[in-house]
Amino acid sequence: MRLSRYFLPTLKETPAEAQIASHRLMLRAGMIRQGAAGIYSWLPLGHRVLRKIENIVREEQDRAGAFEVLMPTIQSSDLWVESGRYDDYGKEMLRIEDRHGRKMLYGPTNEEMITDIFRREVKSYKDLPKNLYHIQWKFRDEIRPRFGVMRGREFLMKDAYSFDLDTESAVRSYNAMFVAYLRTFARLGVRAIPMRADTGPIGGDLSHEFIVLAETGESEVFFDQGFNDFDPMATQPESGTDLQPIVDQWTSLYAATEEMHDPSKAAKTSDRLVQGRGIEVGHIFFFGDKYSKPMKAEVQNAEGASVAVQMGSYGIGVSRLAGAIIEASHDANGIIWPESVAPFKVGLMNLTPKDADCTKACDQLYSDLCKAGVEVLFDDRAVGAGAKFANMDLIGLPWQIALGSRGIKNGIAELKNRATGEKQEVDLATIVAKLAN
């Protein structure tokens, strides 16, 4: 992409309304713009990041055996009356009336709707287990929307719903999601710690939150230092493997975490205690028949008896993750994208656009990188080198190539790693091969 043609409205000044780094940087890097409180448009750079996050989430859900669907954002209130949650949900639910006076709502979550879909189609235990997920916009009329996309009112969520015949099988489904989450967050370049959690309005008795560590996180957390030694990407079980040992391995540490919520207990184990702040990027629940019972989502078991199915739901804050990743990965100059979610892998800068030779060499390099399948943002604008360097640091692409008149004469470019700041001179003849793969 040529920056001269792109839509990248960056800001030099820090916007007054932004209190935390990710919000500030997302506005400054031209990723998002606010429409109304807690409601954002995603501009091209932000949209690319959002889609990359979404795709990694999707790949790991598919890998775990869940099937993608897409349910609407607007729901009828009827199902919520049936489950008993219509009144309970309170002011966080945006209630709408259509032209016929029917009560509708902008979905804050989809347990009711998926339970309705399931009960109409599935009648036998032979069709279980099933896990259906979608990636869709949700609306919650948060009392205090803040921190940009981190606590929005409209936000993008991945929500999955599992259906099983009995508790034992439901726990297997829960474990499959637990492991999928470890892999997902690792691929996104963040360390997310699973913590035993309250179930809140979703209900149920088994639940974990996944917390990304960041100084600006909304919650204070205490965790076992053992978490720092685990590699979630080592978790690549063959299909059919028993996942319980993997989950146990993590939850044995997590048990210590829960205890440490109580600082007096935490003090006793202080040699293993790490204190931090965190952002909740995922939340998984097992809630049995909380919805299947009132909504009569039943299947016939092997003995021919009708039984309510055992359900779980599994959320990931896809749009929140864009902010959370930045909170966990930035410096004074801007964002530092992990390669897996970077909007472009490489930023190419023409430092001397007035020099025809340099411009020719940059155009050639840009074209070669594109041909090699490298995602590159080419700053071909007629602005000073200083502004280009500052802009590249702000938007945080993993690699920066700077090419100017002096380098051209010697056939070399300067390659900078955004994360380490390390610079090296690279032969123009080998730079494409170095960045492709």
Shortest Cβ 255–ligand 5CA spacing (Å): 21
Residue nearest to ligand 5CA (CB): 317
Taking the least distance from each CB to ligand 5CA, the nearer of 142 and 368 is: 142
Shortest Cβ 212–ligand 5CA spacing (Å): 10
Shortest Cβ 144–ligand 5CA spacing (Å): 10
Taking the least distance from each CB to ligand 5CA, the nearer of 140 and 290 is: 140
Q: In this structure, what DSSP letter does residue 12 have?
A: S
Taking the least distance from each CB to ligand 5CA, the nearer of 88 and 262 is: 88
Which residues have a Cβ under 8 Å from the Cβ of 367 and sit 6 or more positions away?
none
Give yes or no for a contact between 232 and 246, defined as CB atoms under 8 angstroms apart: no
Which of 31, 26, 29 shows the shortest CA–CA distance to 12?
29
Shortest Cβ 166–ligand 5CA spacing (Å): 21
Which of 412, 355, 353, 354 shows the shortest CA–CA distance to 388?
353
Q: What is the maximum span of the chain, computed from C-alpha positions, in angstroms?
A: 82
Sign of the dihedral through C-alpha 165, 166, 169, 175: positive
Shortest Cβ 227–ligand 5CA spacing (Å): 18
Q: How many Cβ atoms sit within 10 Å of the Cβ of residue 92?
A: 13
Q: Give the pair of three-digit tokens for residue 264.
A: 């007096």
Helices (H), 64-110: 78-83, 85-88
Taking the least distance from each CB to ligand 5CA, the nearer of 68 and 242 is: 68
Taking the least distance from each CB to ligand 5CA, the nearer of 286 and 389 is: 286
Shortest Cβ 251–ligand 5CA spacing (Å): 18
The CA R_g of the chain, rounded to the nearest whole Å, is 24
Taking the least distance from each CB to ligand 5CA, the nearer of 209 and 380 is: 209
Shortest Cβ 97–ligand 5CA spacing (Å): 24
Q: In this structure, what DSSP letter does residue 207 have?
A: E
Taking the least distance from each CB to ligand 5CA, the nearer of 143 and 332 is: 143
Taking the least distance from each CB to ligand 5CA, the nearer of 143 and 429 is: 143
Shortest Cβ 372–ligand 5CA spacing (Å): 36
Angle between helices 167-187 and 244-259 (to 10 degrees): 80
Beta pairing, strands 423-427 & 39-42: unpaired
Give yes or no for a contact between 401 and 414, defined as CB atoms under 8 angstroms apart: yes
Helix (H, G, I), strand (E, B) or coil at 110: coil
Taking the least distance from each CB to ligand 5CA, the nearer of 152 and 398 is: 152
Shortest Cβ 396–ligand 5CA spacing (Å): 21
Shortest Cβ 40–ligand 5CA spacing (Å): 10
d(CA 43, CA 54): 16
Shortest Cβ 395–ligand 5CA spacing (Å): 23
3-state SS, 209-276, equals EEEEECCCCCEEEEEEHHHHHCCHHHCCCCCCCCCHHHHHHHHHHHHHHHHCCCHHHHHHCHHHEEEE
Given the rule CB under 6 A, which residues bind ligand 5CA? 109, 111, 140, 142, 151-152, 155, 157, 159, 202, 280-283, 313-315, 317, 319-320
d(CA 167, CA 287): 10
Taking the least distance from each CB to ligand 5CA, the nearer of 111 and 224 is: 111
Taking the least distance from each CB to ligand 5CA, the nearer of 151 and 416 is: 151
Task: For residue 315, give the amino acid letter.
Answer: G
Q: How many Cβ atoms sit within 10 Å of the Cβ of residue 83?
A: 19
d(CA 26, CA 320): 12
